[in-house]
Amino acid sequence: MRTHTLIDSPVGELTAIAQDGALVGLYFEGHLRRPPAETFGERTDQGFAPLRGQLGEYFAGERREFDLPLAAEGNDFQHRVWELLVAIPYGETRSYGDLARLLGDRSLAQAVGAANALNPLSVIVPCHRVLAADGSLRGYAGGLDRKRFLLELEEPAERRRGRLF
């Protein structure tokens, strides 16, 4: 059975969707690839306490990884890309090409970007940690302002201290 809840966060309201106790979606308000609301299931706060707690810790700078049951829906290639996203350490970034190389074929960079764009578990599966080859911010279903916010949240203190502005 699918259920959903709304969670306030520093990046706006998040819609969390669970099915049979596992998180299947976490979407920003205005998310580019957000599924239709009629697919979310009944609205309830029941069963979402661990997610709320871990998101609260993450946004407070106290959590670097999430420990939740996940059941993202996607094809085999998308799941391989999403597994690589989870492996990117907190405070670090990779390029689409870096991930394509890890998959064994540098020419897969655009396919990696497409799979990244379809990630249904924003923040939890950290697609915001993927940048263009030149280090610039490109494409984020939640918007580039949110991507920038999340990257700055995760930026190591020593790097922040080294910036002039």
What DSSP character marks residue 159? H
89 and 123 co-located in one domain = yes
Based on the domain organization, do 138 and 112 belong to the same domain? yes
71 within some domain: no
Q: How many domains does the chain have?
A: 2
- CA 102 – CA 108 distance, rounded (Å): 10
Dist. CA 20–CA 139, nearest whole Å: 31
pLDDT of residue 158: 67
Residue 49 CA to chain centroid, in angstroms?
A: 19
pLDDT above 60 (res 26): yes
Q: What does the alpha-carbon distance between residue 97 and residue 132 come to, in Å, rounded to a whole number?
A: 8
Residue 121 lies in a domain: yes
**Mean pLDDT for the stretch of residues 146-155:** 96
Are 33 and 85 found together in one domain? no
Residue 127 is a catalytic residue: yes
Domain extent, residue 28, equals: 2-59
Asked, for residue 65, whether it belongs to a domain, the answer is: no
148 to each of 11, 136, 159, how far by Cα in Å?
10, 10, 15
pTM of the model: 0.91
Which CATH number is 10's domain given? Answer: 3.30.160.70
pLDDT attached to residue 92: 95
Whether residues 52 and 83 share a domain: the answer is no
| Same structural domain, 91 and 117 | yes
Question: Choosing from 51, 88, 127, 130, which is the catalytic residue?
Answer: 127
Q: Tens digit of pLDDT for each residue in 38-56? A: 999 999 999 999 999 999 9
Residue 114: CATH number of its domain: 1.10.10.10
158 and 81 in a common domain: yes
What is the structure's pLDDT at 165? 52
